[in-house]
Amino acid sequence: MKESEIVVAVFPQSDGTLKRRPALILREMPPFRDFLICGISTQLRQEVKDFDEVISETDADFATSGLDSESLIRLGFLLVLPRPQIIGSIGEISAERHQRLLKNLSDYLMKQN
């Protein structure tokens, strides 16, 4: 598995249950090579403008994503998971989209309040 891949992982939900869901590998984290991932959802109404990103059937990288329908890549839904907790890979996004998402996240983290 590598950065920019879309994987299936087990996410804790707000009610304490666990749910399998697609996620994007944003970065491999030191020192144990865990992954920083963000959740992917079909709930487009949750989009945070100029932060999250929608991937649509008309996008050039949708076919390689492994997603079934238009989905929201949620940068605010972050988790660090060890490799064994990732069930498997279903696809990947373009390098350009991956870099854009990393920039959105970095810009937000560096923003002065």
What tens digit of pLDDT does each residue of 70-92 get? 999 999 999 999 999 899 999 99
Give me the sheet containing 86-92, strands edge to edge: 53-55, 71-81, 34-41, 18-29, 5-12, 86-92
pLDDT tops 90 at residue 42: yes
Range name among 11-15, 21-25, 87-91 with the lowest pLDDT average: 11-15
Q: Is the pLDDT of residue 13 over 90?
A: no
69 is written with which tokens? 């329908």
According to DSSP, residue 112 is labeled -
Q: Any idea where the domains of the chain sit in the sequence?
A: 5-110
Q: Per-residue pLDDT tens for 25-40?
A: 999 999 999 999 999 9
- Quick one: fold of 5-110? SH3 type barrels. (2.30.30)
| Structure-block tokens of residue 62 | 């949708």
Looking up tokens 């059937």, which residue turns up? Answer: 57
Report DSSP state, residue 77.
Answer: E
- Quote the tokens at residue 67: 């997603």
Mean predicted confidence (pLDDT) in 95-103 = 97
The Cα–Cα gap between 34 and 28 comes to 6
Chain CA centroid to CA 88, Å: 14
In this prediction, residue 38 carries a pLDDT of: 97
